[in-house]
A and B are shown apart, each in its own frame.
Chain A
Amino acid sequence: MKLPVHTSPYGSLPNNVTRVMGEVLLALVPGIIALVYYFGWGVLINIGIAVTTALAAEAGVLRLRKRPVRPALTDLSATVTAVLLAIALPPLTPWWMTVLGVLFAIVMVKHLYGGLGYNPFNPAMAAYVLLLVSFPVAMTQWLPPVLLNEHPLSFVQTLSAIFGGGLPDHLTWDTITSATPLDAMREQLKMNKTISEIAQNPMWGDFGARGWEWVGNWFLLGGLFLLWRKVITWHIPFAMIAGLLLASGLFWLFDPESMPFPGFHLFSGGMILGAFFIATDPVTAATTSKGRLVYGFLIGLTVFIIRTWGGYPDAVAFAVLLMNMAAPTIDYYTQPRVFGARDKDNA
C-alpha cells in the first residue's frame, strides 16, 4: 500500500491575510477606545469616513484593473490601512482631508505599485505625510485630552465640525484645539525654557503628556496581543524602541534640562502605535530577523533625530517611509546563512 508523503509543516493554523488583518484590527480596539475616551467622538467618525472611502476606492481600482473585487474587499487590508490613517489624524480633521488621504493611500501608494504585497511604502503613512505636508495647520490642530478640555464637544457637534467646519456659536477653533505635547515641548524649548519649567504646565503627566501616555499604554496592550498571537515578531518593536530610548537617553544624561526624558519620547506622538502596528507592516518592512533589528533601530534613531533637530514635531511617519526605502538594501545585506552552507559560500 502506498501512503501519500507530505512535507512539513504537519500541523498548521489557518494563516491568511484576513486572519492577520482581523487580529491587527482587534488589537487596535483598546487603543481606539482610549482615543475616543480622551479625545471624543471625532476619532470614531474619522474611522467611519476612512473605512468607507477605502472600501469604495479599493473596489473602484480593482474594477479598473479587471481583478476580482470580493476577495480584496474581505481580506481587510484596506480597512487596516484606513483605520491606521484615521487614528493618526487629528480628531476634528475635515471630512474631505480624510477622504483625500485615503484615496491617495489606496489608489496611488497601494494600487499604482501593484496592489497588496507590492507597495514599497506604507500606504497609511504616505497618506499621513501627504496631508501633513499639504495642510500643516489643520493637521496640527489636536484637541486637548478630556481631563484638560473645558469645552468637550457632543457627538452631533463633532459631526458638524467635521462635515461643515462649523462650531457651536460661543467657540472658535483656537479655544478648543491645542498643540500636541510634542509640539508644545518643541515650541517651549525653542523659547529657551528648561525642561523643569516646562513641566510645571498641567498638561504633563508622569511620563509624557496627560491622556496621551495612557493612549500609548493601551496601544502597547494591543501590540503585546499581536506578539502573543505571532502576527508580528519582537524584532522591529524592540529595536525601534531601543533605538529611540538609547539615543534620547544618551542626550538626556548629557543635558537633562534641554533634552526631554526618554519616557516622554516613548509615550508621545505615534511612537507606540508606530512600533507595534505601523513599522511591522509585513509588506514594507525588512524581512530577515537581523534586518528587522537594523530596520527598527534605524527608525527609532531617525524619529529622535527628526523630533529633536528637524522641522516637524513628530517623525514616526517620516522615519517609517525613509526606512521603507532602505528595507530592500537592509534585506540584501542581512541574508541569513543557508542551512548547511559555509560562510564562505554565502559571501
Chain B
Amino acid sequence: MSMSNREIIANGLWNNNQALVALLGLCPLLAVSNTLINGLGLGLATTLVLISSNATISFIRNWVRQEVRLPVFVLVIASFVTAVELAMNAWFHDLHKILGIFIPLIVTNCTIVGRAEAFASRNPVPQSMLDGLSIGMGFTLVLMTLGALREFIGQGTILSGVHLMFGEAARGLSFSMGNDFHGLILAILPPGAFFGLGLLIALKHVIDKRNAARAASRVETVPAEAAPAEG
C-alpha cells in the first residue's frame, strides 16, 4: 500500500498524470488553457487546493465514518476552494477576473475528490501532501504546455498577460510575433483544446513506448553480460 516518495512524485507528474492518463478535470483543462499564464494561474490554484484538502482529509481520515466520507470530502474541498478564490480575488484580481467561474468550479474537479478518495483517505499526512503537490504540478504542467501551444499557434504570443501574475515589472517577458502574424484562430477556440490535448496524449504514448522498448532491450542485454561471471 505505502509508496515511496519517489513513486508518489513520478506518479503525479507522469505515470498517473491526471490530465494525460486519468483524463480527469477536462473541463477546466480545456476551457482555461488558452494562454500559458491562464493555465499557470488555474494550475497553481488547483495545486494549492489539492495540497490542503489532501492534508486535511488525511488528518481526519480515522474519524470519518465510511458512509459519510464523500460529503465530508466535498465540504473540506469546498472550504479550501472558497479560501483560494477569495485570496486570488484579493491579490491577483485581474487574473481572477479572466479565470472567472473556473476558480469556484475547482470544487467539481474530479481530480481533487479522486485523490482524496484514492490516496489521502488511506495514507498519512506527509505522503498525502506530497501526493497533492505532485498531482497538482502534473496538472499544472499539462495546462501550461497546452496553454503555451494554443497561445503561440492561435495568436503568436508566449506569456501574454504575464503582468497579471508577476506584476508590471514582468511585462517585458512576454513575446509576440507581431501584428502581421496570421494565427490559427481555431487553436484558441474549444476545438483547438481538444486537438492539442489529443496530440499531447499521443506524444506521451510515443515517449512511453520508446522508454519501454529501451528498457526491454536493456533487460535482454544485461543477463547476457552477466552470464559468464555466473558460469
Residues of A whose CB lies within 8 Å of any CB of B are 100, 108, 130, 133-136, 138
Residues of B whose CB lies within 8 Å of any CB of A are 182-187, 189, 195
CA distance in complex: A315, B215 (Å):
52
Please tell me if the beta carbons of B185 and A134 are within 8 angstroms of each other in the complex: yes
Please tell me if the beta carbons of A134 and B195 are within 8 angstroms of each other in the complex: no
Please tell me if the beta carbons of A133 and B195 are within 8 angstroms of each other in the complex: no
CA distance in complex: A231, B15 (Å):
50
A94 → chain B, closest Cβ, in Å?
Answer: 8
**A residues in contact with B195, CB < 8 Å:** 108
Given contacts A133-B185, A133-B189, A136-B185, 13 further A-B contacts (CB under 8 A): A100-B184, A108-B195, A130-B184, A130-B186, A133-B186, A134-B183, A134-B184, A134-B185, A134-B186, A134-B187, A135-B182, A135-B185, A138-B182
B106 → chain A, closest Cβ, in Å?
Answer: 30
Can you name the residue of chain A whose Cβ is closest to the Cβ of B182?
Answer: A135
CA distance in complex: A133, B189 (Å):
9
Can you name the residue of chain B whose Cβ is closest to the Cβ of A96?
Answer: B182
A127 → chain B, closest Cβ, in Å?
Answer: 11
**B residues in contact with A100, CB < 8 Å:** 184
Can you name the residue of chain A whose Cβ is closest to the Cβ of B189?
Answer: A133
A124 → chain B, closest Cβ, in Å?
Answer: 16
**B residues in contact with A134, CB < 8 Å:** 183-187
CA distance in complex: A312, B189 (Å):
16
**A residues in contact with B184, CB < 8 Å:** 100, 130, 134
B181 → chain A, closest Cβ, in Å?
Answer: 12
**B residues in contact with A138, CB < 8 Å:** 182
**B residues in contact with A108, CB < 8 Å:** 195
CA distance in complex: A108, B202 (Å):
13
A163 → chain B, closest Cβ, in Å?
Answer: 15
B186 → chain A, closest Cβ, in Å?
Answer: 5
- Most B-side CB within 10 Å, residue of A108, A133, A134, A138: A134
**A residues in contact with B186, CB < 8 Å:** 130, 133-134
